[in-house]
Amino acid sequence: MVFASLEFLTLFLPLFLIGYALARPTYRNGVLLFSSWIFYGWWSPAFLLLFIGLTLVGWVGGLAIAAYDKTSLRGWMLSLFICINLLLLCWYKYVNILVESFGNSWLVSGTPSSEWQRVVLPIGLSFIVLQSVSYLIDVYRRTVTADRNLISFGAYQSMFVHLIAGPIIRYDWVKRELHHRPFDWVNFSLGARRFMVGMCMKVLIADTLAPVADAVFLLEHPSFADAWAGCIAYGFQLFFDFAGYSAMAIGLGMMLGFRFPENFNNPYIATSIQDFWRRWHLSLSSWLRDYLYIPLGGNRRGNVRTYINLLLTMSIAGLWHGGDSWNFLLWGIAHGIALCVDRVWSRFGMPDLPVLLTRTATLIFVFLAWTVFRAHTFDAALNMYSGQFGLQGYLPSETLAVLLRPAHWLALTLGVVSILAPWIYAKIQYRLPERVLMTAGLWPVFGFLLAYSLIASRGAVPFLYFQF
């Protein structure tokens, strides 16, 4: 079940909201927890047991760490429960690629790798593990108190609102709202509007551009026009798919009385790669900074160690994104190198470049990196790069000419306008009549109805980050 599906919109969400509204405030965490288990179990009841087990591991781990005053014992408890989480993640996410790359003789003696039965990755596992690890570390650091109530902790860990693809919510951000939160018409209305905006981003833009990206990345010899059309389509698809999911999650949380932080801040207008990571997937980038980069030493141990920490952090970020291809690792390394270059440029007093130039260069790098991120194999990525650098001709292929429709151009235009909307609005808001502004504020309703009709006609399309 996904947010942009008839099952969710016409069955699960209405029934959940009715039950949530009728329940007494002290019982709403229980309603949220039970409903979240139904939501997750809709996909796979078997993996629901794994998911419940991870929730129990996180809860017990927090209590075990908090039970000791001696630092060494707390450290051992922290290591134990983090290892449980990471071992499960590594098994489900990386065992397939290790077997395919190196054979499985080191796993199952005498069994040829061709007979290996692929391990299915439970959806949302990467996000669940990062959330659990952040909670355990925060309890160890004493920045939060271990939650002794299994229901409230379970509601935090299992909340269907952000369960499958983030944002990665830290316990410290919602600890008060888990016990006391508003459930009123104002927050509900604002949240519903945000949810509709996210659904428009997902269905009207991301899903419309998806066929273009899929078709181009399957071409044997993409031309310059083909490769860049596919790369741009995927870049916009990925952003509006994931940012749309995040907006829907934030909206749902607001409807229930939770305040989640923003997960995106116009990343495609970043002026540097460092600025890009201050704007893209903020809950992940802040997690990497606070729980990986800074504990590794950050920039406190000299320049060489700083560059190593940047490369290591971004390499791990790449591996976290996917376990079915080494391309994700290459993507992370590329971003790590770019961050090192960015740091060297500023540290050695190199001249400031025009903003238009830095934005263009950053955007080109980000989209080139998306190519290896999207390609299923390294050879497929090289094939796309050959097209992007004009080594396979320049004119669009017949496939692209036949595929492109007015709807794709409209979706791309909507994407560009959406990215520039904050800047445009700041320029014109004081020049428009109040009636125009009020009428424009109703657009999510009409967009939602159009998106709903498209879902009803062509079916639900899974979110891209479900595979991560």
Residues 155-207: tens digit of each pLDDT: 999 999 988 887 999 999 999 999 999 899 999 999 998 998 898 889 888 98
How far is residue 170's CA from residue 394's CA, in Å, rounded to a whole number? 48
How far is residue 388's CA from residue 369's CA, in Å, rounded to a whole number? 12
What are the distances in angstroms from CA 323 to CA 174, 329, 383? 30, 9, 21
Domain spans, the chain: 6-180, 189-462
Query: Residue 9, CB half-sphere, CA atoms under 13 Å: how many?
Result: 18
Interval 285-302 mean pLDDT:
91
pLDDT on residue 401: 82
How far is residue 324's CA from residue 6's CA, in Å, rounded to a whole number? 30
Distance of CA 22 to the CA centre of its chain: 32
pLDDT in tens, 124-167: 889 999 999 999 999 999 999 999 999 999 999 999 998 888 79
H helix count then E strand count, the chain: 21, 0
Q: Above 60 in pLDDT, residue 114?
A: no
How far is residue 333's CA from residue 341's CA, in Å, rounded to a whole number? 12
How far is residue 367's CA from residue 233's CA, in Å, rounded to a whole number? 10
Catalytic residue annotation: 321
Contact 139, 146 (CB under 8 A): yes
Weakest-pLDDT range from 98-112, 280-294, 363-377, 386-400:
98-112
Helix spans in 175-299 (H): 185-200, 207-216, 224-256, 273-277, 282-288
Interval 333-360 mean pLDDT:
89
Written as six digits, the tokens of 26 are: 């002290």
pLDDT on residue 72: 85
Contact 320, 361 (CB under 8 A): no
How far is residue 284's CA from residue 287's CA, in Å, rounded to a whole number? 5
Contact 202, 244 (CB under 8 A): yes
pLDDT on residue 420: 67
Query: How would you label 62-76 residue by residue, b for 16+ Cβ within 10 Å and e otherwise?
Result: bbbbbeeeeeeebee
For residue 236, with 0-12 CB atoms within 10 Å meaning exposed, 13-18 middle and 19 or more buried, which class applies?
buried
DSSP-derived secondary structure letter, 393: B
